Amino acid sequence: MTQTELPPAVPTVVADTPVPEQDSLRDIVDCHHLTPAMEWLDNHAPHVIADELARMDAVTAGMAFRLLDKDRALAVFEELEPVDQQQILSGLRDQSFRDLVEGMDPDDRARMLREVPAKVAKRVLGGLSPHERRMTATLLGYPEGSVGFYMTPEVVALPRNLPVGEALHMVRAKGSTAETVYTLPVVDAGRRLIGVVELRDLVLGSPDTMIAELIAGEPVSARATGSAEKAARLMQGANLINLPVVDSEDRLVGLLTIDDAVEVIEAADSEDMARQAGTSPWSGHYMAAGVFQLARYRALWLMLLLVAATLTVTVTNFFEPTLEQAAHLALFIPLLIGSGGNAGAQAATTCVRALAVGEVRVSDLLAVIWRECRVGLLLGCMLAAVGMVIGTLFVGVKIAVVVGIALVIICGWAATIGGTMPLLAKKLRIDPAVISAPMVTTLVDATGLVIYFTTAKVVLGI
């Protein structure tokens, strides 16, 4: 995607003006009113149109897409997710197809090619010039989630011993096809990265200054085979708008631009959030997904958690004699395991996030255990005060004391487990976000019951 594109002929979009919801593109196209549809398309920015297309079924979306003129069609197409791009492509004639695919940035094209069926991919590659084909093929060589997968290979690299004036000429000569010219990597004769200069420094500097003098220290860079999320968070931390990408021999191979970095970070955050709720991460559009598709992404975890919950049946079954002697204990089962689950989920989510943004490291394990244990016990004491009042009101002081003591222990235990599991996962090289709140909750449910019934046996002497 062109990082700096501005939609042509679009009215001022002020971010706090709500889009009027009633006349969506879908409604207009559904009614087969072509003139209002074309007016709508003329009056909205490419990303807004792409968003509307993603919400529509394939046939309607294809119909609406063909109403766009050539230049705007490309801008809209680049904003679509690969799965939606494929739907649009499959409905196009050869000439429009070629125009669209040839106009895309190589990195966006490569990303699309990975998700389309082999037949479509062949048609796409066949329509490219040899130069574009080579560049796309290079990007296809990097695994999904790697920096190389997201980078743009079209970079203007400068030699170090060049005056600023000549460097600007070089940017003018070579810059028109590059996705960005704001960050200009400086390389040696072997194309090894030795520094970075900003276009800003060239423009503001004197024409006779040598490029080498503008280089500020050694460059920050990422390896093409490295993790795209790590590289993106590095850009975020260091406030970089472009990050040079190098191969294993430190040779420049591309640039990771901020718009792709933001996309990577947002995808990672969405994934973390999905995982935290115990659903498999997916990249589709909610409103465009079918019911079976939505169910499929949730079924696995729900089923695993159900099987794990069998443990709670086993525990309750084991303590049935206790439960028979004090039937009122059953009243507080949901309240106790609920509170434990909540305390555990809070700790887990906090620690998963702290790990993701780099505030906590694996080496902090002991410190986190000690911290969460105290936080949990503290919260447990507060809950116990309220829990004992509730218990006394419903069934009397004795069981209320059991509920109170159990709340303190369960909260301390739940927070410790919740805070520790993401760190242990990371230590075992599992994505800590896999430690979902429901997973912690289910684990805490069973152990919480053990704590509750054992406390009851001790306090009530049964």
SS3 141: coil
In this chain, which of 150, 332, 413, 453 binds a copy of itself, going by CB under 8 A?
332
Q: Does 323 bind a copy of itself (CB under 8 A)?
A: yes
Interface positions, 105-164, toward a copy of itself (CB under 8 A): 147
Site string for a copy of itself, 66-95 (x = CB under 8 A): -------------x----------------
Q: Cα(281)–Cα(433) distance, rounded to whole angstroms?
A: 11
CA distances in angstroms from 47 to 37, 50, 77, listed in the order given: 16, 5, 9
197: β partners = 184
Minimum CB separation of residue 411 from a copy of itself in Å reads 8
In this chain, which of 25, 88, 151, 351 binds a copy of itself, going by CB under 8 A?
351
Query: Long-range contacts: 425-433, Cβ < 8 Å, 24+?
Result: 426/355, 426/362, 427/362, 427/365, 431/275, 432/351, 432/352, 432/355, 432/356, 433/271, 433/272, 433/275, 433/276, 433/352, 433/356
Minimum CB separation of residue 122 from a copy of itself in Å reads 29
Q: Cα(440)–Cα(340) distance, rounded to whole angstroms?
A: 10
Candidates 2-10, 58-66, 95-103, 133-141 — which segment interacts with a copy of itself by CB under 8 A? 2-10
Query: Which amino acid appears at position 12 of this protein?
Result: T
Minimum CB separation of residue 346 from a copy of itself in Å reads 5
Candidates 60-68, 85-93, 109-117, 299-307 — which segment interacts with a copy of itself by CB under 8 A? 299-307
In this chain, which of 350, 420, 447, 455 binds a copy of itself, going by CB under 8 A?
350
Interface positions, 204-243, toward a copy of itself (CB under 8 A): 204, 216-223, 225-227, 230-231, 234, 236-241, 243
Q: What is the dihedral of CA 245, 247, 253, 257, to 10 degrees?
A: -20
Q: Does 165 bind a copy of itself (CB under 8 A)?
A: no
Q: Does 428 bind a copy of itself (CB under 8 A)?
A: no
Number of residues that bind a copy of itself (CB under 8 A): 153
Backbone angles phi, psi at 424, to 5 degrees: -60, -40
Interface positions, 372-391, toward a copy of itself (CB under 8 A): 374-375, 378-379, 382-383, 386-387, 390
Task: Label residues 403-440 b or e (16+ Cβ within 10 Å = b).
Answer: bbbbbbbbbbbbbbbbbbbbbebbeeeebbbbbbbbbb
DSSP 299-316: HHHHHHHHHHHHHHHHHH
Q: Does 337 bind a copy of itself (CB under 8 A)?
A: yes
Q: Which residues contact 35 (CB under 8 A, 6 or more apart)?
A: none
Q: Does 365 bind a copy of itself (CB under 8 A)?
A: no
CA distances in angstroms from 288 to 80, 93, 414, listed in the order given: 13, 25, 38
In this chain, which of 99, 102, 132, 364 binds a copy of itself, going by CB under 8 A?
364
Minimum CB separation of residue 358 from a copy of itself in Å reads 7
Q: Does 430 bind a copy of itself (CB under 8 A)?
A: no
Burial of 77 (0-12, 13-18, 19+ CB in 10 A): buried
In this chain, which of 31, 34, 59, 299 binds a copy of itself, going by CB under 8 A?
299
Minimum CB distance to a copy of itself smaller for 153 or for 205: 205
In this chain, which of 85, 87, 152, 441 binds a copy of itself, going by CB under 8 A?
441
CA 180 from centre of chain: 24
In this chain, which of 63, 120, 137, 181 binds a copy of itself, going by CB under 8 A?
181
Minimum CB separation of residue 339 from a copy of itself in Å reads 5
Q: Which residues contact 192 (CB under 8 A, 6 or more apart)?
A: 246, 249, 250, 251, 252
Q: Cα(36)–Cα(64) distance, rounded to whole angstroms?
A: 11
In this chain, which of 294, 369, 459, 460 binds a copy of itself, going by CB under 8 A?
294
Q: Cα(451)–Cα(185) distance, rounded to whole angstroms?
A: 61
Q: Are 137 and 108 in contact (CB under 8 A)?
A: no
CA distances in angstroms from 256 to 140, 167, 361, listed in the order given: 16, 21, 26
Q: Cα(439)–Cα(444) distance, rounded to whole angstroms?
A: 9
Minimum CB distance to a copy of itself smaller for 86 or for 316: 316
Q: Does 371 bind a copy of itself (CB under 8 A)?
A: yes
Minimum CB separation of residue 144 from a copy of itself in Å reads 15
Q: Does 38 bind a copy of itself (CB under 8 A)?
A: no
Q: Does 31 bind a copy of itself (CB under 8 A)?
A: no
Candidates 86-94, 124-132, 422-430, 438-446 — which segment interacts with a copy of itself by CB under 8 A? 438-446
Minimum CB distance to a copy of itself smaller for 112 or for 345: 345
Nearest 5 degrees, angle CA 28-CA 34-CA 35? 100
In this chain, which of 175, 191, 326, 369 binds a copy of itself, going by CB under 8 A?
175
Minimum CB separation of residue 125 from a copy of itself in Å reads 25
Minimum CB distance to a copy of itself smaller for 117 or for 321: 321
